[in-house]
Structure 1
Amino acid sequence: MADIGFIGMGNMGYAMLKGMLSCFDASGIVFTDASQERMENVEKITNVKYVNTNAECAKLAKVIILAVKPQYYESVLQDISNIVKEDDIVISLAPGIRIDYLSSKLEFNPRIVRVMPNTPALVGAGITGVAYQKDRFSSDEEKLIENIFRSIGEMVRVDEALMNAVVCASGSSPAYVYMFIEALADSVVKYGMPRDMAYKFAASSVLGSAKMVLETGEHPGILKDRVCSPGGTTIAGVAALEEYGFRNAVFKATDACYEKNQKLQGE
C-alpha cells in the first residue's frame, strides 16, 4: 500500500514528484505512465516504484494524483471509476476539468481536490492554486494536502470559480517568462555579451525582481518607478515597451489562455 499514487508522469507529474521527494519517502509513492520507457527512467532516477496500470495505481494509493492531459481524462476515469472509494482522495491537475465532472465519473464519490501547479515545482519554487470542498476533509487530510503542495513551493486556497484565472496567472505564465528571459538575453548578445552570461543576468534579474514584489509587498508599479530615473535609460526602455504593446500583449495572452480553458470545460 502507498500513500500517494501518480497516474501520468509527464512534465508536470515529474516536476511534482521530484519536488515531493524532498519531504516524502519514495517508498510511500507509486506511479504509472503510458510509456514503459518513461516509467523505467523515472524509477531509475527517483527510486519510486512504478506499476503497469491505472487501476493498479489507484488500488495501491490513498491519494491518487491525476497528472495526465485533459484529453486522456475520460479513459483514465473509466479505468479507476469503480476502484477509488469514498475515503480516497483524488487530486486533479488538469486545466478545465471541474470537480463536478470528476464526481459524475467516479462511482463511489471520493473526495476531489482540483489544483493548478506550475513547472517551477521541479526546483521547489512552484505555486499551486488549490480548490476543494472543505467540509469533506479532516484536518489531517487538509494537512496532507498542504504538505504535498508546500513541498514543491507555495500553496494558495482558491474558490474553484477562479481556477481558470489561476491557470493564466501561474500555470501557463512560466512559458511567457522564459520567452522574456530568452528575448532579453538575445537583445544583449546582439551587443557582444556571451550567451551564458546573458542568460545569467536576465534570469537573475527576473528572480530578484519577483522577490522584491513578494518580500516588500509593494505595488509593482511603485517598484518600477523607483528604477526609472527621470530622463534616464530605464524610462527610455519602458517607453519603448509601451510603444510596441508589451502590456497589451500580456493581456492578449491571458485572454487566449482563459478562452482555451473555457473551451476545455465546455463553457
Structure 2
Amino acid sequence: MAQQATPVRTARLGRALGPEPTTVSGVVLLLPGGDETSHRRPSPMLAAASVRALGRRLTRAARDEGLAAHAVHYRTRGWNGAEANLARDADWAVEEAVRRYGDVPVCLAGLDMGGRAALRAGGHEAVNSVLAIAPWLPEDDVAAPPEPVKQLAGRHVLIVHGTNDQRTDPELSFRLAARAKKSNRHVCRFEVHSDGHGLHQHRDEVHALAEDFVMGVLFGRAFARPLEDAFAAPPPLGLRMPLASGFGRRR
C-alpha cells in the first residue's frame, strides 16, 4: 500500500475581524502568543482568542478608515530557536496582506511570543509600525547575538509591558527598546505598573493606547499627548513611560 505524504503545514490569515471594508487603506496583523519550543499545531480558536478583542476594538475605531484586521494562524506553536517559526509566519502574513490588499501600510501587533515575532518581522518594506504587548524575549547571553533591532529603522514602535510580569521579563523589553532607540527616534515603551503578563487590571487602558497608536501610524490621526510625549522624550524617560489609569476614557 502506498504511503500517504504528510501534509505540509502552512500559515494562514484568519477571517477579517469586523465588517470588511469596501476599500482597504491599512492592515493590522494580530500575532498571538506561542511557546519557546514546540512543533505542535496550535489551536486556531484558542490562539486567536487572545488577540480578537483588540482586533475588534481597532476595527470599530477605524470603521470609516478602511482597516482590515486579521489574526495570524501559525504553522506551529513554538519559536523553535534558530528556526524562528513565528517570525517566518509573520513575514508570510505580511506578504499575504500585500497580495490581497496591495500597497497599503501594515502594522504588526503581537502579544507575548507574538510580540517578538512582530519585532523580528518589522523589517518588511510594507510594515510601517510594530506594536509589541508583553513581548517574550530571550535572556541576554554573551554567547549568542542579541535580539536584532536594525530591521526596525524607520518604523514606529510601541512596546507595552506590565511591571509585575512573571512570564516575560519587562527589563528585557526595556533593553531592546533602548538599543532600538539609538538609531530610531520613533520608539517608545509604556510600563503598566502593578500589572502582570495578561495586563488584566488595565486592559481597557492598554487597548486604548493600542488604538491611539494604530490610528496614528496607519491613518495619520494625531497621537494622544502621552504617546506623543513618549516618542519625543529621550531615553530612559520615553522608554519607561507610565500608562496612566483611565487612559482613553474621556477622549
Which has the larger share of helix? 1
Question: Smaller-chain TM-score range?
Answer: 0.3 to 0.5
- TM-score norm. by structure 2 comes to 0.36
Larger radius of gyration: 1
